[in-house]
Amino acid sequence: MQTFPIFLSLQDRPVLVVGGSEPAARKVELLLSAGARVTLIADTVVGEIAQLIAEARISWAGRGFDDDDLSGMALVIVATGDEALAARVSSAAQRRSLPVNVVDRPLLSSFIMPAIVDRAPITIAISTGGTAPALARRIRAEIERALPAAIGRLARFAEIFRVQVRRTLESSRDRRRFWDRVFAGRIGELALAGDEIAARRELIRLLDSARNENAPAGMVHLVGAGPGDPDLLTMKAHRLMQRADVIVYDRLVSPEVLAMARRDAERIFVGKRRGEHCQTQSEINRRLVSLARAGNSVVRLKGGDPLVFGRGGEEIEALVRAGVAVEVVPGITAALGCAASAAIPLTHRDHAQACIFVTGQLKDGTVSLDWPMLARPRQTVVVYMGAESLPIIAARLVEHGLSPATPIALIENGTTNQERRVVGTLATIEQQARRAALEGPTLCMIGEVIGVSLARDPELQDQRASF
């Protein structure tokens, strides 16, 4: 996050605007809509600015800027084409620790003016940190099209009952769940439609019911977080993450995916690293049971798919034995995500009629796999967690009949901005992986389909040739 977003109250507070052109008029209109008392500094004014002065909606000093004009101001906006004046005002404001924005000059600004969606009292601000204002305006247009024009009416309706709900429901969790039911159900629909009398009647009935009902039982959702790209989350996964009281996650969940969770949800890290376990699986199971029994809605967030090498089955068994409700939400597993990102077909009519997923984790220094089965021709083998055991895997496959020239691809941090690929053969891949110094989660894909992808991707051809 390059800039910290805040909403500043300007009601009846003094704000200085320097400049008398049309860009200044746009800023003055926004400031007036926020209730500010605007003073304008400009030698001359044109168009709408002149009209605002004539209507006595703003104060105008028909002269140039003086440093003393900053005294008592809450905010400063500079909208002038005079570069020297803009730099002077910015410097003087920042010496006084006054927030200052110079239109289209982010380097001279201490804050950025966002693109705004106004559905009072709801305000949505979009900023690109000053890098692409046109993109911010486009995003604003998309939000305006998707957001009901009357959404502010719903916020005003909720404000009427806010204190009463707080007094009735002591737990913040109970209040949040209550409001979720209001906004997502018939009450919200009635308020949006303008039938406030019916909406009030329904809300009072729901609040009475919530006061007397027993606390809802907790539940655990085993949710697949996908291979790292937040755009690959399912809609259901995102919805549950937004409603969860607690997020329990491991190290394979990318920061970008975790950022999609509800901001005030409790977050518990239970990750495992190679040779280093933060918590044992039994401890994780007990914690999930305890959290659910406390009435929480728990999302157990797992990289990839929870039932593909994610120990989801063990957690389901523990939860069912404890009488805790559990739901599994599938995710895009690493094999599918990495294959798609690298455009590698896992199956191919001419090269691979089967695809096999295995884990390459070492146990007692060895990898216990069905090597004769894995070394069969015309199939794709995908090895999860195989970076450490790569030399053993390559050697055993060659020993059991695969050609040393069999193509192999290593994909680190697949689908993310940090993705790296190393392509070679069973005979060369150990040395190539060592040169590449792969450290992140790495998936290994073996088979003729790698060659199919190489044939149509010059970049991968060049990469293999460079090792």
If 0-12 CB within 10 Å is exposed, 13-18 middle and 19+ buried, where does residue 260 land? Answer: middle
Q: Which amino acid is at 414?
A: G
Residues annotated within a binding site: 22-23, 43-44, 227, 303-305, 308, 333-334, 385, 414
Q: Is 27 a catalytic residue?
A: no
Residues annotated within a binding site for S-adenosyl-L-methionine: 227, 303-305, 308, 333-334, 385, 414
Rounded CA-CA distance 439/423 in Å is: 16
Active-site choice (82, 104, 272, 457)? 272
441 contacts: CB under 8 Å, gap ≥ 6 = 252, 303, 334, 385, 412, 413, 414
Active-site choice (250, 302, 363, 462)? 250
Is residue 380 within 8 A of residue 352, CB to CB? The reply is: yes
Residues annotated within a binding site for NAD(+): 22-23, 43-44
Residues in the chain: 467
Q: Count CB-CB contacts under 10 A for residue 403.
A: 14
* Torsion, CA 263, CA 268, CA 272, CA 278, rounded to 10: 150
If 0-12 CB within 10 Å is exposed, 13-18 middle and 19+ buried, where does residue 259 land? Answer: exposed
Q: Is 250 a catalytic residue?
A: yes
Q: Is the dihedral of CA 333, 368, 409, 355 positive or negative?
A: negative
Rounded CA-CA distance 338/22 in Å is: 51
Q: Which residues are catalytic?
A: 250, 272
